[in-house]
Structures are given as structure tokens and as C-alpha cells.
Structure 1
Amino acid sequence: MQAYVVLMFILVIGGTVLDMIHKKSAKYFFAKAKAAQASRTRELGAGDKIGIAVSTVAVDVMTSGEFCNPRRRISHLFTMYGFILFVVTTVALVFAYPTNEAPSIVSQLWHLSAAMVMFGGYWFWFFIRVDVSAEGNPWYRIVKADMFILSLLGTTTFGLVWSILQANGVAPWTTVFLALFIIAATVLFAGVLWSKFAHMFFKPAAAFNKRVIKADGSRENLPELGDLSDPALHKRFPDIPEYMGKNPANMGLGIKREQPQHY
């Protein structure tokens, strides 16, 4: 089992690197940063960048502040922290206690983490997904992008069921669910290149970069518009009053007025 965990770790690293090469993510970020140098209005010091990094971790990473929908945010937090705890406790059980009985707290945290992932993941799958909640597609409609969430739910669900069956001595089904657990975990960690797994490594970098370009004034080489209700700005950009009205700052809730459930 230790060799299997090491292999999955290698596959995650390899898949992430291949994903970066395939999508040219790193090249894009470096090119974008270089292009923004000419339009910076201020230079950020080390303290500024540290502050931005702390804000990124606190808001965008640890609390998933990019989600406006509170249900989506809570679901994501349960899934994210459950997955992190699941991986940590699995590694502890496999490497720290390969033959000896693990402390009860480690086992309890492993089961709790699996339940957290299942709670957040199934809530998302059945009720929050835009395919289901906004577009009216049935929950059982599966596309390639669902590979990550389904393999994640399969890993935690089959793992939890396997543990319960093993504790109760249900021998035949224990083997079946152990096999399903391993298959789902293999798909999850070996399928990084074809799933959304790798995006969890890119999102913090993208969030940090977004805050940096706002702080240094480069604004992705976009102009600073200023007050959208300014008549001089309307004269310069007539599309603003034509499509947004003369007082865009007070347009109301817009798309946030109601949930898009018109199917």
C-alpha cells in the first residue's frame, strides 16, 4: 500500500507538470507579468507582495472568497478541507501505522474527512451544479469535466463503506469495496491530466496575480475608466450610457436579482 500511495503522488506531480506543458499555464503567467511591466503605475515592495500573498491565502484559498453563492462556498469548503484531511490521515495510516493499530483519533479523523467530502460533494452534485440548478439537466448527465468530482466522491464513498464493512467482518463485500476504492482513487490521482484536479494548484497563483495587477496599477493593460457616471467619460465611450445607462453605479442587482431557473 505504501508503494501505491507513492505511485499516486508521482502521478499527481507528473500529471500537473504535463497539464502545465499542455496548457502552457506557466508560460502564460510569465508572459502576462512581463507584458504588464510597461503599464505599472507603482512598484510593489516585498512588504506589499507579502501582504497580497497573505490576503490571497486568507480570502481566496482558505475561505474560498471567490464564490458569491454561499451554498457553493460552504459546499466547496467542506469538500476542500475534507479532502485535505482525508489525504493527510491516509498518509498517516499507511506510513506511520502500516502494521500497528493506529490511534483512534487518526481513524476517526479519516472517517470524518471522508464524510465531509461526501457531504460537500453530493450537495454540489445533486443541487448546486449549474448544469442541474440553472440549466435543468438531470443530475445523472455526466461529461468529461465531471471526472474529478465523481472520482473524488467514489474514493471517499467506497473507502468509507469498505471501512465499515471491514469493521463488521463482512468478508465478501469488503473485498469488493476495497477494489472499488482503489479503482476510484487511481482514477482520481492518475487522471490529473484529464480532470480538473490540476486547477487547484493554479487557482492560488491566478488569485495572487489578480491582486498584484490591481495593486500595481497595470490592470492587465486595460485603461482606468474612473467614474462611470462622468459625462466626459460618456462622451469618450458612448457605449457606456447606451448599454449601461447614465448612472451605471446604481443599475441594481442585475443578474443577481434572482436565480437563473427558467427552464
Structure 2
Amino acid sequence: MLQNNPFLNLAEFVSPYAMQSFIIAMVVLIAAGTIIQMIHHKNVTYFLNNAKKAKLSATKALSAGEKATIIAKTTVVDIGTTSELGMGKRRLAHVLGMYGTILFWVSSAVLVFCYTSEGSSTTVWSTLWHVGAILTCLGGFWFWFFLRVDVSAEAFPWYRIIKADLFVLALLACSTFGLAWSYFQFSNQMGLSYLFLALFVVANIVLFGGVYWSKFAHMFYKPGAAIQKNLAEADGSRDNLPPPADAPEQFGLGIKREEPKHY
């Protein structure tokens, strides 16, 4: 089953151009949702203002080479390995989900744009598509059922759902329904195959169409925040800045938190 290309078989009934147009439409939804959220929550304004304050408070001028090194290190270490989570199960679950999702999305695009014409075949990208979906499910379900902060720290049940959970739930639905679609297609159970194909399409629309309401856009905010933080630490401006009192809520900044009470 891992070598099955479900998009190639789907091309017998659905035009490859329609599938490619669907992917392009999802990319447009990502861009539109992210831009609208940035404008509404004034995230860009916050980052620019914070950068100006940091520049005025800097005690050291960084060269272009030093900035490039810090950005590269932040991208590879902090972002690439989610080092801010420390060592442990939570970090492992995030890494599995993150790289599984990247693999799933990239291989989906490759399969749709390159391997849906008659006579085309690939075992490598088909296998990567399934592996990516499986890794996403492993990391996502592990996180959802066992590692969520509100569950472990505040004793809320796993089924407590809030608006911010839209991203992870839609992502899990995409990978789960995608795997089910491929399995039933490979098993020649066409009725179930079409059912899970429909669910797969709906899950994608919810995932990419719900960018404005979910945590999807944080995938773009967090790298920028991490790079800005490390640059500020390197030029000394971070130590000279007061805690931001007007930072957007989604960054978890500027919010006064009570000291933990022990009884």
C-alpha cells in the first residue's frame, strides 16, 4: 500500500488540472488567511515597533556575517528541532508532527503536479507521502491525547476543544483520512475509498481555509519571533528593553502571570 499513488488512480476520474488547481487554491487560502490575521491582530506592527526599540537599545553593532550566522543557527537548531520545548516527549511529538507534515505536503504537491499523467509512476514519492501522513498521525495523536498543556497542567479532558485546536485537529483529519482513502483504494473497496476521499478534501478545506481562526499562522510568526529574540540577545538590546505591555495575545507576551501557589 505504501507504494500506491492515490492521486494517479484518482486521475482516471478527476482531471489532473483540477487537482493542481485545488492545491493552488489552498496556497492562496493560506496567504489570504495569514495576511488578514496579520492586519487584524497588528502582528507586523508589533514586530516592527519591537525591532525599532531593539535597535535603539543595542549595545553592539552586528555585522552582516554575524546576523547571517545567528539566523542560520536559529533556523537549524531552534526552529528545526523545536529546542524551546527542551528535551522530552513533547518535543519529540512536535518534531514527528512537524517533519511528517512537511513531508506529507511536499510529496502531495509532487505527486499531483508530476505523477498524475497516464503512464507515470513513482514508488519513492508515494512511499514518502504515506510515511509523512503516518508520522503526522503519530506526533499529532500523541500530542492530542497525552501531552497537551491544558490536559497535563490543568486537568482538562482530552476532548476539551477550543478555537485554537482547529489547526491540529484539521491536520490530523487530513493525514488520517488520506491514509484511509489510499488503503481502501488499494484494497479496491471503492465505496469507502470515495467516502474517505470526500472527507480528505473537506479536511483540507477546513485546514487551509481556517488559517485566520486557527494556529496555522503561528508557523510563520514563531520563526520570526525566534530570530528577533536571538538577534536582540546578541546585540545586547534584549537586556535593555522593558517587558512588552502591548504584545499580541497569541505570542504569550505582555501578560502578567501570577506566581504559582503551593499549598
Counterpart position of 2:82: 64
Instruction: Quote how far apart the aligned CAs of 1:38 are.
Output: 2.2
Deviation at 1:145, TM superposition (A): 1.0
Check if 1:10 corresponds to 2:28.
yes
Give the residue type in structure 2 aligned to 1:125. W
1:175 partner letter: Y
What does 1:11-26 align with in structure 2 at a 5 Å threshold? 11-26=29-44
The match for 1:189 among 208, 225, 230 is: 208
Q: CA deviation at 1:134?
A: 2.0
- The answer to whether residue 171 in structure 2 is matched with residue 165 in structure 1 is no
Q: Are the counterparts in 2 of residues 36 and 220 from structure 1 also a CA contact under 8 Å?
A: no
Q: Which has the larger radius of gyration?
A: 1
Extract unaligned runs of 5+ from structure 2. Answer: 1-18, 243-259
What is the match of residue 176 of structure 1? 195
TM-score, normalising length: structure 2: 0.82
Displacement, 1:37? 2.3
Q: How far, CA to CA, are the matches of 1:172 and 1:29 in structure 2?
A: 50
Structure 1 stretches of 4+ with a deviation exceeding 3 A read: 220-223
Question: Could you tell me which residue of structure 2 aligns to residue 151 of structure 1?
Answer: 170
Q: Using CA pairs below 8 Å that are at least 6 residues apart, which structure has the higher relative contact order?
A: 2
Counterpart of 1:36, as a letter, is: A
Which AA in structure 1 matches 2:49?
A
TM-score, normalised by the number of residues in structure 1: 0.82
Deviation at residue 193 of structure 1 after TM alignment: 0.5
SS of 2:182 mapped into structure 1:
helix
What amino acid does structure 2 have at the position aligned with 1:195?
S
SS at match of 2:172: helix
Aligned to 2:98: 80
Q: Which amino acid in structure 2 is aligned with residue 122 of structure 1? A: F
For the 8 Å contact 2:54–2:241, the answer to whether it is kept is: no
Q: Report how far residue 58 of structure 1 moved.
A: 1.5
Task: Report the more deviating stretch, 85-94 or 213-222.
Answer: 213-222
Letter in 2 for 1:162: W
Letter of the structure 2 residue corresponding to residue 167 of structure 1: F
2:150 aligned with 1:105:
no
The corresponding residue for 1:28 is: 46
Percent identity, aligned pairs only, is 50
Match of 1:123 in 2: 142
| Aligned-pair CA distance for 1:36 | 2.0
Which piece of structure 1 moves more, 87-96 or 35-44?
Answer: 35-44
Distance, in Å, in 2 between the alignment partners of 1:55 and 1:106 is 29
Q: Which amino acid aligns with 2:117?
A: T
Q: Please identify, of 140-149 and 61-70, the stretch whose mean Cα deviation from structure 2 is larger.
A: 61-70
Aligned pair count reads 226
Structure 1 residue 141, shift from structure 2 partner? 1.4
1:224-249 CA distances to partner (integer Å, 9 max, x unpaired)? xxxxxxxxxxxxxxxxxxxxxxxxxx
User: How much does 1:47 deviate?
Assistant: 1.1
State the Cα distance separating 1:148 from its structure 2 match: 0.3
Gaps of 5+ in 1: 224-254, 256-261
